[in-house]
């Protein structure tokens, strides 16, 4: 048995763990990184990167269809296996940045094995015992497979296996109408599959219903069947012939089944009880400083039991590095964290949605809106199907919702405003180049200030008086 003493042991080589390990070692700490599966974690290998690559392939196929801008389109010839080759190439291009070799080059000691605590101060990974001043759990999450009768008797896909599929599904059934389910539904429909989405409540139910409807209407227009308020009750069949029976008696027959019903945190292997780390099914129990019940152990990203996004894990890494390396107080918060569903049109959110803001702030809330139809760049590009809402309280934005082309990029302005507690006047002072979609943000700000400027009788009287005395 080999024993190692170190300043910091990072458990998990996904986005958050890698960010933390790279930052810590370059700041002078001794760092051990423990990873039992693939470097880069879910985001690189099964999540953000491959899904966006497949979405891009679907978008290219969609762009060739129809007639627009004086260009006659044609039905594309789709090679599904070649689209998956594109996905694999994208992963391979990014992988060196997350590789063991790169991190060892930075000075991180990388141990490729699963780790489990054997005491409050020690973790065992294979034949190595690591004693560290601080541990950070960054183990991420895995697909949640719901206990639907018959599911364990049929072949099914998750995001961890979908991207290995080489033959295009004739009819893909997706259980789950969240971001993953909706993104993959549209991508596969554009690549030539029939697609049915089964969602037990409302599809994209965490988002503003008005804006979510814009996305769902587009998917339905592209041929995706979306069943909402429908629970999968039983599953049967075999490879190439899967049937899903719903609680209301419908039977949906398809060739492939994708389970996209949520995520579960990866904590099972860690033996957290030995480390006296409190936890639940949702994740490690942590305070605002992301420290667990064991003062030596922190958790970040999905393992911390909160928002499950790659950029949250990276943000958490920055929070804990202040405490662990510099001994400075540092706390995480969620109010400024954006999220995006990468459908077409994109759906982006930061802070409170309109329903949430109304419930929290009541009459103090002002909601301002701007349609993409009023944006010259959107008109020129034929991308006018979109809307922005900004929720404002006492002159400060408390949330922003955007649906439309480039929504994931546009939301950044509002994420900046919320992160720094800026007034909406700060965005008013920004000059956006013309013509860009970024002017949509300015139009929303204009909708907030226009009544104060143009419907103000007192201001009009002042202007008239000034004009009378000006030379």
Query: pLDDT for 75-96, tens place per residue?
Result: 889 999 999 999 999 999 999 9
State what percent of residues in the chain have pLDDT above 70: 99
Token pair belonging to 276: 């006296």
Q: Where are the alpha helices (DSSP H) in 245-289?
A: none
Helix ranges (H only) for 327-438 are: 354-361, 376-381, 407-419, 424-428
Answer whether CATH 3.50.50.60 is correct for domain 151-261.
yes
Q: State the DSSP H helix or E strand holding residue 399, giving kind and residue range, or none if neither.
A: strand 396-404
Query: Which residue(s) pair with 28 in the sheet?
Result: none
- % of the chain surpassing 90 pLDDT: 91
Each domain of the chain, given as residue ranges in start order, spans: 2-39+99-142+264-326, 151-261, 338-454
Q: What is the pLDDT of residue 454?
A: 66
pTM comes to 0.94
Choices 3.40.50.720, 3.90.1170.50, 3.50.50.60, 3.30.1490.20: CATH for 2-39+99-142+264-326: 3.50.50.60
β-bridge mates for residue 137, sequence order: 11, 299
Mean pLDDT of 415-421: 97
Q: Do domains 151-261 and 338-454 have the same CATH topology?
A: no
Instruction: Report the DSSP pairing between strands 338-341 and 346-351.
Output: antiparallel
Q: Confidence class of residue 453 from pLDDT cuts 50, 70 and 90?
A: low
Residue where the block lists tokens 């400083």 = 289
Q: Which two tokens stand for residue 212?
A: 């979510």
Q: How many helices (DSSP H) and strands (DSSP E) are in the chain?
A: 14, 25
Average pLDDT of the segment spanning 233-243: 97
Question: Pairing mode, if any, of strands 67-68 and 71-72?
Answer: antiparallel
Q: Among candidates 336, 465, 459, 471, which has minimal Cα distance to 397?
A: 336
Average pLDDT value for residue range 399-412: 98
Is 338-454 a CATH 3.30.390.30 domain? yes
Direct distance between the N- and C-terminal alpha carbons of the chain, in angstroms, rounded to an integer: 91
The pair of structure tokens assigned to 167 is 């033959």
- Residue 166, both tokens: 């080489």
- pLDDT, one tens digit per residue, over 239-288 is 999 999 999 999 999 999 999 999 999 999 999 999 999 999 999 999 99
Q: What is the pLDDT of residue 161?
A: 96
């Amino acid at each position: 048995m080999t024993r190692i003493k170190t300043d910091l042991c990072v458990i998990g080589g996904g986005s958050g763990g890698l960010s933390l390990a790279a930052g810590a070692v370059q700041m002078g700490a001794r760092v051990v990184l423990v990873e039992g599966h693939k470097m880069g974690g879910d985001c690189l290998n099964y999540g953000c990167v491959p899904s966006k690559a497949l979405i891009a392939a679907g978008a290219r196929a969609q762009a060739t269809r129809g007639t627009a801008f004086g260009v006659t389109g044609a039905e594309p010839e789709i090679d599904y296996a070649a689209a998956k080759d594109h996905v694999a190439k994208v992963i391979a291009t990014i992988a060196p940045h997350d590789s063991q070799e790169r991190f060892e080059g930075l000075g991180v000691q990388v141990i490729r094995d699963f780790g489990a605590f054997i005491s409050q101060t020690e973790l065992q990974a294979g034949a190595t015992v690591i004693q560290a001043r601080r541990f950070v759990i960054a183990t991420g999450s895995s697909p949640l497979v719901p206990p639907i009768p018959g599911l364990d008797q049929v072949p099914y896909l998750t995001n961890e296996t979908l991207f290995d599929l080489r033959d295009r599904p004739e009819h893909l059934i997706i259980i789950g109408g969240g971001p993953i389910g909706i993104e993959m539904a549209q991508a596969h429909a554009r690549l030539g599959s029939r697609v049915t989405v089964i969602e037990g409540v409302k599809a994209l139910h965490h988002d503003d219903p008005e804006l979510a409807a814009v996305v769902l209407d587009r998917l339905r227009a592209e041929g995706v069947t979306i069943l909402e308020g429908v629970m999968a009750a039983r599953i049967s069949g075999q490879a190439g012939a899967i049937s899903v029976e719903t609680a209301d008696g419908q039977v949906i027959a398809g060739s492939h089944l994708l389970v996209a019903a949520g995520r579960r945190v990866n904590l099972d292997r860690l033996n957290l009880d030995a480390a006296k780390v409190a936890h639940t099914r949702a994740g490690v129990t942590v305070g605002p400083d992301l420290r667990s019940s064991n003062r030596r152990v922190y958790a970040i990203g999905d393992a911390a039991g909160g928002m499950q996004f790659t950029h949250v894990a990276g943000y958490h890494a920055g929070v804990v590095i202040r405490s662990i390396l510099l001994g400075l107080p540092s706390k995480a918060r969620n109010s400024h964290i954006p999220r995006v569903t990468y459908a077409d049109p994109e759906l982006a959110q930061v802070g409170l949605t309109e329903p949430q803001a109304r419930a929290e702030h009541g009459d103090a809330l002002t909601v301002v809106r701007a349609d993409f139809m009023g944006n010259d760049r959107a008109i020129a590009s034929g991308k006018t199907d979109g809307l922005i809402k900004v929720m404002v309280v006492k002159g400060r934005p408390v949330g922003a919702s955007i649906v439309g082309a480039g929504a994931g990029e546009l939301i950044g302005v509002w994420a900046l405003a919320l992160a720094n507690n800026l007034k909406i006047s700060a965005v008013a002072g920004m000059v956006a180049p013309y013509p860009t979609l970024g002017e949509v943000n300015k139009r929303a700000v204009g909708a907030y200030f226009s009544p104060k400027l143009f419907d103000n009788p007192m201001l009009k009287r002042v202007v008239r008086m000034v004009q009378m005395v000006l030379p």
